[in-house]
A and B are shown apart, each in its own frame.
Chain A
Amino acid sequence: NAGVTQTPKFQVLKTGQSMTLQCAQDMNHNSMYWYRQDPGMGLRLIYYSASEGTTDKGEVPNGYNVSRLNKREFSLRLESAAPSQTSVYFCASRTGNNEKLFFGSGTQLSVL
């Protein structure tokens, strides 16, 4: 099992460019999450999908959109990147409430 796979691992964007971060899990998990991690801020929840077909905002959703394409895949889109979105992004999944999270290896995004 690959677990949670994120692509790309690194990305540099110019302000105003758009991009999509891809995430897929092969563990048949119901719930998927996108977090961002900034120095001194800890991990903050951007969006989540509690089950296939549903998505909801987390703590810091502004500037992002998501798509739960199917049970396996949950993508994060930046429509018009801003320097404030420079961060490390982690996708995670789990089978249900109160269960542990499995993380992807992260995407280091820099917006110039």
Chain B
Amino acid sequence: RKEVEQDPGPFNVPEGATVAFNCTYSNSASQSFFWYRQDCRKEPKLLMSVYSSGNEDGRFTAQLNRASQYISLLIRDSKLSDSATYLCVVSRLNSGYALNFGKGTSLLVTP
């Protein structure tokens, strides 16, 4: 089983829609969790950290379920500029706590 698994998509949604991405991780001892955004041919950039209690940043909400080893990202009122690949990221406990990336979920928001 891969350490971090995501539905690759693509998710095609109209502007204004709500879309949710899911991610599962295999190592129950993982300690830090993030969502990164990557635009085509660009470097990944941090979208938000994910905290145990759940957290929100504007239109974006992240949830963590440690018991189910599951992370989610909810985007409300989608904008055209939200079109990108969203990477689920989990710390790994070997490799110096380097971050382990999922393969990403592609989102296309259409007019």
Chain A interface (Cβ within 8 Å of chain B)? 31, 33, 35, 40-43, 45, 48, 50, 56, 58-59, 88, 90, 97-101, 103-106
Contacts and interface: CB of A to CB of B under 8 A. Distances in A.
**Chain B residues touching A, majority SS:** mixed
Contacts of A103: 43-45
Interface of B: 31-32, 34, 41-46, 49, 87, 89, 91, 95-104
Nearest to B2: A42
Contacts of B97: 50, 97-98
A10 B90 CA distance: 29
Nearest to B32: A98
Contacts of B44: 43, 90, 101, 103
Contacts, number: 55
A94 to B, nearest CB: 8
Given A42-B87, A42-B102, A103-B43, 12 more contacts: A35-B101, A42-B101, A43-B101, A45-B95, A50-B97, A90-B44, A98-B97, A100-B46, A101-B44, A101-B89, A103-B45, A106-B42
B58 to A, nearest CB: 18
B98 A45 contact: yes
Contacts of B41: 88, 106
Contacts of B43: 90, 103-106
Contacts of A98: 31-32, 91, 97
Given A100-B34, A105-B42, A56 B104 contact: no
